[in-house]
Amino acid sequence: MSELGARLRQARTEKNLSIDDIQALTKIQKRYLHGIEEGNYEAMPGPFYVRAFIRQYADAVGLHGDELLEQYKNEIPAATRTSSPPLAASTTSRSRGYRLGGGGNRLMEIFPMILVALFVIAILAIAYVLSQRAPIDPPVEDGGETEIIIETQDPEPAAPAEDEEADETTSEEETEAEPVEDVSITPTGNQGEDSFYDVEGIESLNLSITFTGDSWLSIRDASGVELLDRARIYTALDGTVDFELPEPGTYRVRVARPDLVTILINDTKVEYQKGEGPENLYFNWTTE
């Protein structure tokens, strides 16, 4: 048992509180509380969780969480600062979005050429169809009766039913072959402005954030690096903005007005307290 864990357990015992009582007060799972008392931080999802859970535990037993973190900082694992690439916010058909990079400029340059090419193709197609439908003048013989020859075209045979069934079977097989990831979002605790979630079952994570009013937005990785080009205030005119997280890990999403913001992870809604004050959402994303 670590010195920090022994001190927390002693404070809990002096207040006649059990692990179940601490779990009810802090909403932290018992296995994490046991890990804090025993100094087993490997069971924690990440460095952000270790510090946040210790602070919540200390506050629950009457100790000052920040002072304990500073006093026993040598026992607590520190987050390794790594540089993460900035997120790209892509534009969707349902809303206005932003791309944090230079790829959009190239698309805008070639977009007029694409429109011109499509227009030319459409004109050629219309001309071809009209030429095929032009009436054929019947031949006229000099003298005698005029003979009108009407050519009839045999109807094209209908495609065999076997081909249609084969096409339908192929389409069904292609649809079934596409894997569908089932995302799991599990709340693991909350304290004040902080809410914690485990995100599992997905290989890629897309944050879809919809704004119905003005709200500050910031997205940081486990090292505290801001992943947006710059954190700023988004408005209802921004609509829905998508962000693709670079790799599994712990991320913090901070919104100033959670009551004006809806967050989806891979089209699955994230449930959280929607008050008028700021909210920090910590997502621990693993692929296992």
Question: According to the model, what pLDDT value does residue 57 have?
Answer: 87
Residue 140 placed within a domain: no
Residue 167 placed within a domain: no
Provide the domain count of the chain.
2
Residues 30 and 93 in one domain: no
Question: According to the model, what pLDDT value does residue 209 have?
Answer: 95
Residues 273 and 222 in one domain: yes
Residues 266 and 216 in one domain: yes
Residue 52 placed within a domain: yes
Distance CA 285, CA 147 (A): 83
- For the domain that residue 7 is a member of, what is the CATH number? 1.10.260.40
Give the residue numbers spanning the domain of 50.
Answer: 3-71
Residue 205 placed within a domain: yes
Question: According to the model, what pLDDT value does residue 49 have?
Answer: 87
Residues 222 and 264 in one domain: yes
Mean pLDDT by 10 residues, the chain (288 residues): 87 93 92 88 83 90 88 76 51 44 63 89 90 58 52 54 58 55 89 92 94 93 88 90 94 93 95 84 91
What are the DSSP calls for the chain, one per residue? --HHHHHHHHHHHHTT--HHHHHHHH---HHHHHHHHHT-GGGSS-HHHHHHHHHHHHHHTT--HHHHHHHTTTTSPPPPP---PPP-EE--TTS----SSSHHHHHHHHHHHHHHHHHHHHHHHHHHHHHHTPPPPPP--SSS--------PPPPPPPPHHHHHHHHHHHHHHHHHS-----EEEEEEEETTEEEEEEES-SS-EEEEEESS-EEEEEEETT--B-SSS-EEE-GGG-EEEEE--SSEEEEEEES-GGGEEEEETTEEPP----SS-EEEEEEE---
Question: According to the model, what pLDDT value does residue 40 have?
Answer: 85
Residues 94 and 215 in one domain: yes
Question: According to the model, what pLDDT value does residue 105 have?
Answer: 59
Question: According to the model, what pLDDT value does residue 93 have?
Answer: 40
The structure's pTM equals: 0.45
Residues 188 and 60 in one domain: no
Residue 241 placed within a domain: yes
